[in-house]
Amino acid sequence: MADHYDVLIMGAGPGGYVAAIRAAQLGFKTACVESRDSLGGTCLNIGCIPSKALLQSSEKFAEARHALAEHGIKIGEVALDLAAMMARKDKVVGTLTRGVEFLFRKNKIEWLKGRGRITAPGRVLVTGADGAAQQVEAGSIIIATGSESAPLPAFDIDEERIVSSTGALSLDRVPERLIVIGGGYIGLELGSVWQRLGAKVTVVEILDRIVPNMDLELGTALQRVLARSGIEFRLSSRLAGIRKTGDGLTLELEGAERQTLAADVVLVSVGRRPHTAGLGLEAVGVACDEAGRIIVDDGFATNLPGICAIGDVIRGPMLAHKAAEEGIALAERLAGQKPHVDYDAIPAVVYTWPEVASVGKTEEELKAAAIPYRAGKFPFTANPRARTNGYTEGFVKILAERDSDRVLGVHIIGPDAGTLIAEAVLAKEFGASAEDIARTCHAHPTLSEAVTEAAQAAAGRAIHI
Protein backbone atom coordinates (compact mmCIF):
# COMPACT_ATOMS: atom_id res chain seq x y z
CA MET A 1 0.00 0.00 0.00
CA ALA A 2 1.37 3.42 -0.99
CA ASP A 3 1.74 5.98 1.82
CA HIS A 4 -1.09 8.53 1.68
CA TYR A 5 -0.82 12.23 2.60
CA ASP A 6 -3.36 15.03 2.63
CA VAL A 7 -0.81 17.39 1.09
CA LEU A 8 2.34 16.44 -0.79
CA ILE A 9 4.72 19.21 -1.78
CA MET A 10 7.38 18.83 -4.44
CA GLY A 11 10.39 21.05 -3.62
CA ALA A 12 11.50 22.46 -0.27
CA GLY A 13 12.43 26.03 -1.23
CA PRO A 14 10.78 29.04 0.45
CA GLY A 15 7.57 28.27 -1.45
CA GLY A 16 7.50 24.55 -0.65
CA TYR A 17 8.81 24.44 2.90
CA VAL A 18 6.65 27.36 4.03
CA ALA A 19 3.57 25.75 2.42
CA ALA A 20 4.46 22.50 4.21
CA ILE A 21 4.71 24.17 7.62
CA ARG A 22 1.44 26.10 7.15
CA ALA A 23 -0.34 22.96 5.90
CA ALA A 24 0.88 21.00 8.93
CA GLN A 25 -0.20 23.82 11.26
CA LEU A 26 -3.66 23.56 9.74
CA GLY A 27 -3.83 19.86 10.58
CA PHE A 28 -2.99 18.28 7.22
CA LYS A 29 -0.85 15.14 7.09
CA THR A 30 1.99 16.65 5.06
CA ALA A 31 5.09 15.43 3.23
CA CYS A 32 7.66 17.28 1.16
CA VAL A 33 9.74 15.68 -1.61
CA GLU A 34 13.19 17.27 -2.00
CA SER A 35 16.06 15.91 -4.06
CA ARG A 36 18.77 18.18 -2.63
CA ASP A 37 20.78 16.97 0.40
CA SER A 38 19.48 19.91 2.43
CA LEU A 39 16.18 21.76 2.73
CA GLY A 40 15.59 25.43 1.87
CA GLY A 41 15.81 25.26 -1.94
CA THR A 42 17.68 27.73 -4.11
CA CYS A 43 17.18 30.52 -1.58
CA LEU A 44 18.96 28.97 1.37
CA ASN A 45 21.48 26.80 -0.49
CA ILE A 46 22.63 28.72 -3.58
CA GLY A 47 20.66 31.98 -3.65
CA CYS A 48 19.55 34.65 -1.20
CA ILE A 49 21.44 33.45 1.84
CA PRO A 50 24.95 32.62 0.55
CA SER A 51 24.91 35.74 -1.63
CA LYS A 52 23.94 37.95 1.31
CA ALA A 53 26.58 36.29 3.53
CA LEU A 54 29.25 37.15 0.94
CA LEU A 55 27.84 40.66 0.44
CA GLN A 56 28.10 41.23 4.19
CA SER A 57 31.65 39.87 4.44
CA SER A 58 32.91 41.72 1.36
CA GLU A 59 31.30 44.94 2.60
CA LYS A 60 33.18 44.60 5.88
CA PHE A 61 36.41 43.97 3.97
CA ALA A 62 35.89 47.05 1.80
CA GLU A 63 34.98 49.11 4.84
CA ALA A 64 38.08 48.01 6.72
CA ARG A 65 40.22 48.92 3.71
CA HIS A 66 38.67 52.22 2.70
CA ALA A 67 36.05 53.60 5.08
CA LEU A 68 37.19 53.28 8.68
CA ALA A 69 39.92 55.93 8.52
CA GLU A 70 37.36 58.74 8.20
CA HIS A 71 35.92 57.61 11.56
CA GLY A 72 39.36 57.99 13.11
CA ILE A 73 39.94 54.24 13.26
CA LYS A 74 43.37 53.14 12.16
CA ILE A 75 44.04 49.47 11.63
CA GLY A 76 47.10 47.73 10.25
CA GLU A 77 47.27 46.01 6.90
CA VAL A 78 43.94 44.47 5.90
CA ALA A 79 44.27 41.04 4.29
CA LEU A 80 41.73 38.72 2.75
CA ASP A 81 41.31 35.10 3.88
CA LEU A 82 38.92 33.96 1.15
CA ALA A 83 38.75 30.37 2.42
CA ALA A 84 37.60 31.63 5.83
CA MET A 85 35.04 33.94 4.21
CA MET A 86 33.65 31.01 2.20
CA ALA A 87 33.64 28.78 5.28
CA ARG A 88 31.60 31.40 7.16
CA LYS A 89 29.12 31.56 4.29
CA ASP A 90 28.80 27.75 4.29
CA LYS A 91 28.28 27.77 8.06
CA VAL A 92 25.46 30.31 7.77
CA VAL A 93 23.83 28.20 5.05
CA GLY A 94 24.20 25.00 7.11
CA THR A 95 22.69 26.59 10.22
CA LEU A 96 19.65 27.83 8.30
CA THR A 97 19.02 24.66 6.29
CA ARG A 98 19.26 22.56 9.46
CA GLY A 99 16.81 25.04 10.99
CA VAL A 100 14.26 24.07 8.34
CA GLU A 101 14.87 20.39 9.12
CA PHE A 102 14.13 21.18 12.77
CA LEU A 103 10.89 22.96 11.75
CA PHE A 104 9.87 19.92 9.69
CA ARG A 105 10.39 17.64 12.69
CA LYS A 106 8.58 20.07 15.00
CA ASN A 107 5.56 20.16 12.66
CA LYS A 108 5.69 16.40 11.89
CA ILE A 109 6.31 16.97 8.19
CA GLU A 110 7.89 14.02 6.43
CA TRP A 111 10.87 14.79 4.17
CA LEU A 112 10.76 12.28 1.31
CA LYS A 113 14.36 12.38 0.07
CA GLY A 114 14.54 12.02 -3.68
CA ARG A 115 13.26 13.28 -7.00
CA GLY A 116 9.49 13.39 -7.43
CA ARG A 117 7.58 12.69 -10.63
CA ILE A 118 3.82 12.91 -10.96
CA THR A 119 2.52 9.67 -12.48
CA ALA A 120 -1.20 10.53 -12.25
CA PRO A 121 -3.34 13.07 -10.37
CA GLY A 122 -2.86 12.18 -6.70
CA ARG A 123 0.17 9.95 -7.31
CA VAL A 124 3.89 10.77 -7.15
CA LEU A 125 6.86 8.47 -7.67
CA VAL A 126 9.80 9.42 -5.45
CA THR A 127 13.19 8.11 -6.60
CA GLY A 128 16.07 8.34 -4.11
CA ALA A 129 19.73 8.97 -4.94
CA ASP A 130 20.30 5.19 -4.66
CA GLY A 131 17.65 4.53 -7.33
CA ALA A 132 15.11 3.09 -4.89
CA ALA A 133 11.59 4.22 -5.87
CA GLN A 134 8.54 4.72 -3.68
CA GLN A 135 4.99 5.46 -4.87
CA VAL A 136 3.06 7.90 -2.67
CA GLU A 137 -0.50 9.23 -2.85
CA ALA A 138 -1.87 12.62 -1.88
CA GLY A 139 -5.18 14.47 -1.82
CA SER A 140 -3.40 17.61 -3.02
CA ILE A 141 -0.08 17.91 -4.82
CA ILE A 142 1.75 21.25 -4.71
CA ILE A 143 4.49 21.77 -7.29
CA ALA A 144 7.13 24.13 -5.84
CA THR A 145 10.17 23.05 -7.83
CA GLY A 146 11.49 26.57 -8.36
CA SER A 147 13.85 27.73 -11.05
CA GLU A 148 17.37 27.33 -12.42
CA SER A 149 19.84 29.71 -14.08
CA ALA A 150 18.94 30.33 -17.69
CA PRO A 151 21.83 29.27 -19.92
CA LEU A 152 23.15 31.37 -22.78
CA PRO A 153 22.75 29.12 -25.80
CA ALA A 154 26.13 28.26 -27.35
CA PHE A 155 28.13 29.09 -24.20
CA ASP A 156 28.91 26.17 -21.91
CA ILE A 157 28.90 26.87 -18.20
CA ASP A 158 31.84 24.93 -16.70
CA GLU A 159 31.42 26.54 -13.22
CA GLU A 160 35.15 27.30 -13.18
CA ARG A 161 35.89 29.93 -15.79
CA ILE A 162 32.39 30.42 -17.20
CA VAL A 163 30.15 30.31 -14.15
CA SER A 164 26.51 30.64 -13.17
CA SER A 165 25.53 32.35 -9.91
CA THR A 166 26.19 29.02 -8.17
CA GLY A 167 29.82 28.95 -9.32
CA ALA A 168 30.24 32.66 -8.52
CA LEU A 169 29.30 31.92 -4.89
CA SER A 170 32.23 29.53 -4.49
CA LEU A 171 35.23 30.80 -6.50
CA ASP A 172 38.43 29.69 -4.78
CA ARG A 173 40.36 32.86 -5.65
CA VAL A 174 39.57 36.43 -6.56
CA PRO A 175 39.65 36.71 -10.36
CA GLU A 176 41.72 39.58 -11.68
CA ARG A 177 39.07 40.39 -14.29
CA LEU A 178 35.43 39.31 -13.90
CA ILE A 179 32.90 39.96 -16.62
CA VAL A 180 29.25 39.75 -15.63
CA ILE A 181 26.80 39.07 -18.44
CA GLY A 182 23.47 40.57 -17.37
CA GLY A 183 22.77 43.74 -15.38
CA GLY A 184 19.97 42.30 -13.23
CA TYR A 185 20.09 42.07 -9.45
CA ILE A 186 21.95 38.75 -9.23
CA GLY A 187 24.76 39.91 -11.52
CA LEU A 188 25.07 43.26 -9.75
CA GLU A 189 25.14 41.70 -6.27
CA LEU A 190 27.72 39.05 -7.14
CA GLY A 191 29.70 41.52 -9.24
CA SER A 192 29.79 43.82 -6.18
CA VAL A 193 31.09 40.99 -3.98
CA TRP A 194 34.07 40.27 -6.24
CA GLN A 195 34.74 43.93 -7.01
CA ARG A 196 35.00 44.67 -3.27
CA LEU A 197 37.38 41.73 -2.90
CA GLY A 198 39.66 43.12 -5.60
CA ALA A 199 38.42 41.99 -9.04
CA LYS A 200 38.14 44.40 -11.95
CA VAL A 201 34.46 43.94 -12.80
CA THR A 202 32.71 44.79 -16.06
CA VAL A 203 28.95 44.36 -16.46
CA VAL A 204 27.69 43.68 -19.99
CA GLU A 205 23.98 44.32 -20.55
CA ILE A 206 22.02 43.94 -23.76
CA LEU A 207 19.53 46.68 -22.80
CA ASP A 208 20.41 50.35 -22.43
CA ARG A 209 19.91 50.25 -18.64
CA ILE A 210 20.53 48.03 -15.62
CA VAL A 211 17.82 46.55 -13.32
CA PRO A 212 15.25 47.05 -16.11
CA ASN A 213 12.20 46.15 -14.00
CA MET A 214 12.83 48.92 -11.49
CA ASP A 215 12.02 52.63 -11.62
CA LEU A 216 14.39 54.17 -14.18
CA GLU A 217 15.62 56.87 -11.80
CA LEU A 218 16.79 54.20 -9.33
CA GLY A 219 18.59 52.21 -12.02
CA THR A 220 20.36 55.31 -13.30
CA ALA A 221 21.40 56.37 -9.79
CA LEU A 222 22.60 52.85 -8.93
CA GLN A 223 24.68 52.63 -12.09
CA ARG A 224 26.30 55.98 -11.28
CA VAL A 225 27.29 54.90 -7.76
CA LEU A 226 28.54 51.47 -8.84
CA ALA A 227 30.56 53.06 -11.66
CA ARG A 228 32.12 55.43 -9.14
CA SER A 229 33.10 52.44 -7.01
CA GLY A 230 34.99 50.99 -9.99
CA ILE A 231 32.51 48.70 -11.80
CA GLU A 232 32.50 49.29 -15.57
CA PHE A 233 29.32 49.04 -17.63
CA ARG A 234 28.92 48.11 -21.29
CA LEU A 235 25.24 48.75 -22.00
CA SER A 236 23.40 48.00 -25.28
CA SER A 237 26.00 45.28 -25.82
CA ARG A 238 25.36 41.65 -26.72
CA LEU A 239 27.76 38.80 -26.03
CA ALA A 240 28.62 37.35 -29.44
CA GLY A 241 31.40 34.93 -28.53
CA ILE A 242 33.76 33.64 -25.86
CA ARG A 243 37.17 32.19 -26.73
CA LYS A 244 39.31 30.32 -24.23
CA THR A 245 42.86 31.61 -24.54
CA GLY A 246 45.36 29.83 -22.27
CA ASP A 247 44.31 30.73 -18.72
CA GLY A 248 42.04 33.56 -19.87
CA LEU A 249 38.92 34.25 -21.88
CA THR A 250 38.32 36.67 -24.72
CA LEU A 251 34.81 38.00 -25.18
CA GLU A 252 33.41 39.49 -28.36
CA LEU A 253 30.63 42.03 -27.83
CA GLU A 254 28.26 43.39 -30.45
CA GLY A 255 26.52 46.73 -30.07
CA ALA A 256 26.90 50.17 -31.55
CA GLU A 257 30.46 48.97 -32.17
CA ARG A 258 32.26 45.62 -31.85
CA GLN A 259 34.34 45.28 -28.70
CA THR A 260 36.77 42.70 -27.37
CA LEU A 261 37.15 42.19 -23.62
CA ALA A 262 39.60 40.00 -21.72
CA ALA A 263 38.50 38.12 -18.59
CA ASP A 264 39.61 35.45 -16.17
CA VAL A 265 36.07 34.51 -15.15
CA VAL A 266 32.72 35.18 -16.84
CA LEU A 267 29.53 35.13 -14.77
CA VAL A 268 26.45 34.38 -16.85
CA SER A 269 23.45 35.85 -15.03
CA VAL A 270 20.88 36.44 -17.75
CA GLY A 271 17.84 35.39 -15.75
CA ARG A 272 16.25 32.21 -14.43
CA ARG A 273 13.85 29.71 -15.97
CA PRO A 274 11.20 27.58 -14.28
CA HIS A 275 12.34 24.14 -13.21
CA THR A 276 9.82 21.67 -14.62
CA ALA A 277 12.00 19.01 -16.30
CA GLY A 278 11.35 15.45 -15.15
CA LEU A 279 8.18 16.25 -13.20
CA GLY A 280 5.96 14.24 -15.54
CA LEU A 281 3.91 17.32 -16.43
CA GLU A 282 3.52 16.52 -20.12
CA ALA A 283 2.60 12.91 -19.46
CA VAL A 284 -0.20 13.80 -17.04
CA GLY A 285 -1.22 16.93 -19.00
CA VAL A 286 -0.38 19.88 -16.71
CA ALA A 287 -0.46 22.99 -18.92
CA CYS A 288 2.53 25.35 -19.16
CA ASP A 289 2.87 28.70 -20.96
CA GLU A 290 5.37 29.54 -23.70
CA ALA A 291 7.96 30.55 -21.08
CA GLY A 292 7.71 27.09 -19.50
CA ARG A 293 5.85 28.32 -16.39
CA ILE A 294 3.04 26.20 -15.00
CA ILE A 295 -0.27 27.95 -15.68
CA VAL A 296 -2.35 28.50 -12.52
CA ASP A 297 -5.53 30.37 -11.66
CA ASP A 298 -5.86 32.95 -8.85
CA GLY A 299 -6.05 30.10 -6.34
CA PHE A 300 -2.83 28.44 -7.66
CA ALA A 301 -4.78 25.52 -9.23
CA THR A 302 -3.43 24.04 -12.46
CA ASN A 303 -5.73 22.70 -15.16
CA LEU A 304 -5.76 19.31 -13.37
CA PRO A 305 -7.81 18.83 -10.19
CA GLY A 306 -5.73 18.26 -7.07
CA ILE A 307 -2.52 19.69 -8.59
CA CYS A 308 -1.44 23.24 -7.66
CA ALA A 309 1.77 25.22 -8.16
CA ILE A 310 3.52 28.14 -6.43
CA GLY A 311 6.79 30.08 -6.44
CA ASP A 312 9.31 30.52 -9.24
CA VAL A 313 7.66 27.79 -11.29
CA ILE A 314 4.57 30.00 -11.93
CA ARG A 315 4.06 33.59 -13.17
CA GLY A 316 5.20 36.62 -11.19
CA PRO A 317 8.52 37.85 -9.83
CA MET A 318 11.04 35.13 -8.98
CA LEU A 319 11.52 36.11 -5.35
CA ALA A 320 11.69 34.07 -2.16
CA HIS A 321 9.14 36.13 -0.21
CA LYS A 322 6.67 35.96 -3.11
CA ALA A 323 7.02 32.14 -3.14
CA ALA A 324 6.51 32.02 0.65
CA GLU A 325 3.41 34.26 0.50
CA GLU A 326 1.93 31.95 -2.11
CA GLY A 327 2.80 28.88 -0.03
CA ILE A 328 0.91 30.23 2.99
CA ALA A 329 -2.05 31.38 0.89
CA LEU A 330 -2.35 28.04 -0.88
CA ALA A 331 -2.20 25.96 2.33
CA GLU A 332 -4.93 28.17 3.82
CA ARG A 333 -7.05 27.84 0.67
CA LEU A 334 -6.78 24.05 0.93
CA ALA A 335 -8.15 24.44 4.46
CA GLY A 336 -11.14 26.39 3.12
CA GLN A 337 -9.91 29.86 4.03
CA LYS A 338 -9.89 32.77 1.57
CA PRO A 339 -6.48 34.45 1.71
CA HIS A 340 -5.25 36.73 -1.04
CA VAL A 341 -1.79 37.66 -2.31
CA ASP A 342 -1.51 41.31 -3.34
CA TYR A 343 1.07 41.21 -6.13
CA ASP A 344 1.21 45.01 -6.17
CA ALA A 345 2.56 44.93 -2.62
CA ILE A 346 5.52 42.61 -3.14
CA PRO A 347 8.79 44.46 -2.56
CA ALA A 348 11.91 43.94 -4.63
CA VAL A 349 15.37 44.64 -3.24
CA VAL A 350 18.84 44.76 -4.75
CA TYR A 351 21.41 44.25 -1.99
CA THR A 352 24.22 46.25 -3.55
CA TRP A 353 25.78 49.25 -1.83
CA PRO A 354 23.72 51.39 -1.72
CA GLU A 355 20.72 49.09 -1.58
CA VAL A 356 17.81 49.62 -3.92
CA ALA A 357 14.23 48.75 -2.94
CA SER A 358 10.88 49.19 -4.62
CA VAL A 359 7.23 48.42 -4.17
CA GLY A 360 4.25 49.18 -6.40
CA LYS A 361 4.22 51.14 -9.61
CA THR A 362 7.22 52.84 -11.19
CA GLU A 363 6.98 56.33 -12.68
CA GLU A 364 7.29 54.81 -16.15
CA GLU A 365 4.32 52.49 -15.48
CA LEU A 366 2.17 55.37 -14.20
CA LYS A 367 3.03 57.48 -17.25
CA ALA A 368 2.30 54.59 -19.62
CA ALA A 369 -1.09 54.00 -17.93
CA ALA A 370 -1.81 57.78 -17.93
CA ILE A 371 -2.45 57.74 -14.16
CA PRO A 372 -2.09 61.27 -12.71
CA TYR A 373 0.34 61.25 -9.78
CA ARG A 374 2.46 63.44 -7.54
CA ALA A 375 6.05 62.55 -6.68
CA GLY A 376 7.70 63.40 -3.38
CA LYS A 377 11.47 62.96 -3.15
CA PHE A 378 13.90 63.31 -0.27
CA PRO A 379 17.68 62.81 -0.46
CA PHE A 380 19.70 61.04 2.24
CA THR A 381 22.19 63.96 2.16
CA ALA A 382 19.54 65.90 4.14
CA ASN A 383 18.88 63.07 6.62
CA PRO A 384 20.82 63.54 9.88
CA ARG A 385 21.26 59.83 10.61
CA ALA A 386 22.66 59.19 7.13
CA ARG A 387 25.15 62.02 7.88
CA THR A 388 26.21 60.53 11.22
CA ASN A 389 26.62 57.13 9.62
CA GLY A 390 28.57 58.55 6.71
CA TYR A 391 26.29 57.02 4.07
CA THR A 392 24.48 59.82 2.28
CA GLU A 393 24.05 58.28 -1.16
CA GLY A 394 20.52 58.04 -2.60
CA PHE A 395 16.95 59.18 -1.99
CA VAL A 396 13.40 58.10 -1.20
CA LYS A 397 10.71 58.67 -3.85
CA ILE A 398 7.02 58.32 -3.11
CA LEU A 399 4.46 58.30 -5.91
CA ALA A 400 0.90 59.10 -4.85
CA GLU A 401 -2.30 59.29 -6.91
CA ARG A 402 -2.85 62.99 -7.66
CA ASP A 403 -6.44 63.30 -6.45
CA SER A 404 -6.82 60.60 -3.77
CA ASP A 405 -3.19 60.85 -2.47
CA ARG A 406 -3.14 56.99 -2.27
CA VAL A 407 0.40 55.59 -2.30
CA LEU A 408 0.99 53.90 -5.66
CA GLY A 409 4.73 53.23 -5.54
CA VAL A 410 7.73 53.78 -3.30
CA HIS A 411 11.30 53.62 -4.57
CA ILE A 412 14.37 53.90 -2.38
CA ILE A 413 18.05 53.90 -3.16
CA GLY A 414 20.24 54.35 -0.13
CA PRO A 415 21.52 52.87 3.12
CA ASP A 416 19.31 50.03 4.40
CA ALA A 417 16.71 50.59 1.65
CA GLY A 418 15.73 46.88 1.93
CA THR A 419 14.59 47.42 5.52
CA LEU A 420 13.06 50.87 4.95
CA ILE A 421 10.79 49.55 2.19
CA ALA A 422 8.81 47.47 4.73
CA GLU A 423 6.96 50.59 5.88
CA ALA A 424 5.99 51.36 2.29
CA VAL A 425 4.72 47.80 1.77
CA LEU A 426 2.56 48.14 4.89
CA ALA A 427 1.28 51.50 3.60
CA LYS A 428 0.28 49.84 0.34
CA GLU A 429 -1.39 46.92 2.14
CA PHE A 430 -3.48 49.37 4.17
CA GLY A 431 -4.25 51.56 1.15
CA ALA A 432 -2.55 54.46 2.95
CA SER A 433 -2.19 57.96 1.55
CA ALA A 434 1.11 59.83 1.36
CA GLU A 435 -0.33 62.08 4.08
CA ASP A 436 -0.77 59.04 6.38
CA ILE A 437 2.98 58.44 6.14
CA ALA A 438 3.76 62.16 6.39
CA ARG A 439 1.80 62.43 9.66
CA THR A 440 3.28 59.26 11.22
CA CYS A 441 5.89 60.18 13.82
CA HIS A 442 9.27 58.62 13.05
CA ALA A 443 12.04 58.41 15.65
CA HIS A 444 14.90 60.87 15.38
CA PRO A 445 17.59 60.45 14.22
CA THR A 446 16.75 57.51 11.95
CA LEU A 447 17.00 56.80 8.24
CA SER A 448 13.23 56.25 8.25
CA GLU A 449 12.73 60.00 8.65
CA ALA A 450 13.66 60.22 4.96
CA VAL A 451 10.49 58.23 4.19
CA THR A 452 8.33 60.69 6.17
CA GLU A 453 9.97 63.63 4.47
CA ALA A 454 9.48 62.15 0.99
CA ALA A 455 5.78 61.78 1.88
CA GLN A 456 5.74 65.40 3.08
CA ALA A 457 7.50 66.41 -0.14
CA ALA A 458 4.65 64.86 -2.14
CA ALA A 459 2.49 67.65 -0.65
CA GLY A 460 5.24 70.24 -1.13
CA ARG A 461 5.96 70.55 2.61
CA ALA A 462 9.16 68.67 3.43
CA ILE A 463 10.92 70.38 6.32
CA HIS A 464 14.63 69.69 5.78
CA ILE A 465 15.00 70.41 2.09
CB of 419 vs ligand FAD, minimal distance in Å: 13
Complex with ligand FAD: residue 50 or 414, whichever CB lies closer: 50
Residue number, nearest CB to ligand FAD: 146
Least separation in angstroms between CB 357 and ligand FAD: 11
Nearer to ligand FAD, 148 or 254 (CB): 148
CB 143 → ligand FAD: shortest distance, Å? 9
DSSP state string for 12-58: -SHHHHHHHHHHHHTT--EEEEE-SSSSSHHHHHHSHHHHHHHHHHH
Cβ atoms of residues 174 and 199 within 8 Å: yes
Residues recognised as catalytic: 444
Measured CA to CA, the distance from residue 436 to residue 427 in angstroms comes to 8
Residue 436 CB neighbours (<10 A)? 15
| Exposed / middle / buried, residue 297 (Cβ in 10 Å: 0-12, 13-18, 19+) | exposed
Closest by Cα among 97, 248, 90, 247 to 170: 90
286 versus 457: smaller Cβ distance to ligand FAD: 286
**DSSP letter at 275?**
-
In angstroms, what is the minimal distance from the CB of 342 to ligand FAD? 16
- The smaller minimum CB distance to ligand FAD, of residues 187 and 379, is found at 187
Q: For residue 354, is the peptide bond before it cis, meaning its omega torsion is within 30 degrees of 0?
A: yes
DSSP 3-state of 299: coil
Query: Which residue lies nearer to ligand FAD by CB, 15 or 394?
Result: 15
State the minimum distance, in angstroms, from the CB of residue 228 to ligand FAD.
23
Closest distance between ligand FAD and the C-beta of residue 24, in Å? 17
Residue whose C-alpha is closest to residue 373's, from 417, 324, 406: 406
Mark out the alpha helices in 231-309 (DSSP H runs).
281-284
Looking only at the bridges linking them, the beta strands covering 133-143 and 3-10 are parallel
Tell me how crowded residue 296 is: count the other CB atoms within 10 A of its CB.
23
219/311 with CB nearer ligand FAD: 311
Give whichever of 38 and 392 is closer to ligand FAD, judged by the CB atom.
38
- The strand ranges marked E within 172-310 are 177-181, 200-204, 232-234, 238-245, 248-254, 259-263, 265-268, 272-274, 307-309
Partners of 152 in beta bridges = 155
- Least distance from C-beta 243 to ligand FAD, angstroms? 27
Q: Which positions lie near ligand FAD, rule CB under 6 A?
A: 10-16, 33-36, 41-43, 47-48, 51, 115-116, 144-147, 165, 186, 275, 278-279, 311-312, 318-321, 323, 351
CB 266 within 8 A of CB 179: yes
